[in-house]
């Protein structure tokens, strides 16, 4: 798709449209997903502590500054990737990716926590 930009207002409008389409497409699976912070809160845990616990239990690993599911847990509906798009100062579109947990994944974590304590 080619967008013709004639003024700054058109540029902003076109940028918002691109971001909205990308977010809608990328996040279509994670509407009911929760963050690690949301799971940790009822247990009075810090998100970093829960992430560390999951790494110790070999559920996930950390690489390149983010968490990934271990192969044993991939493709089983426990988690999804959530992308957040943003523009750099020079106008380039970039994104960050975070691991979010489905209800099935949340239940797995809660079972592991209950069995551990």
pLDDT tens digits in sequence order for the chain, 117 residues long: 555 556 777 777 777 777 777 666 665 555 689 999 999 999 999 999 999 999 999 999 999 999 999 999 999 999 999 888 888 888 888 888 999 999 999 999 999 999 876
Write down the pLDDT at residue 93.
Answer: 85
DSSP state of 2: -
Give the Cβ contact number of residue 23 at 10 Å.
Answer: 15
Residue 9: what pLDDT? Answer: 74
Query: What angle, 0 to 180 degrees and rounded to 10, lies between the N-to-C axes of helices 103-116 and 47-56?
Result: 80
Note the pTM of the prediction, 2 decimals.
0.71
Position 20 scores a pLDDT of 74
**pLDDT score, position 88:** 86
How far apart, in Å, are the Cα atoms of 45 and each of 8, 51, 52? 46, 10, 11
Q: What is the pLDDT of residue 73?
A: 96
93-101 and 66-69 strand pairing: unpaired
């Amino acid at each position: 798709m080619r967008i013709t930009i004639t003024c700054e207002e058109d540029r902003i409008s076109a940028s918002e449209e691109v971001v909205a389409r990308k977010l809608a497409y990328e996040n279509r699976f994670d509407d009911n997903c929760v963050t690690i912070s949301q799971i940790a809160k009822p247990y009075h845990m810090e998100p970093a502590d829960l992430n560390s616990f999951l790494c110790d239990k070999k559920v996930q690993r950390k690489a390149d500054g983010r968490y990934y599911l271990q192969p044993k847990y991939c493709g089983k509906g426990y988690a999804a990737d959530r992308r957040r798009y943003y523009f750099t100062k020079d106008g380039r579109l970039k994104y960050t990716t975070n691991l979010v947990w489905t209800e099935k994944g949340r239940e797995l974590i809660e079972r592991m926590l209950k069995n551990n304590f």
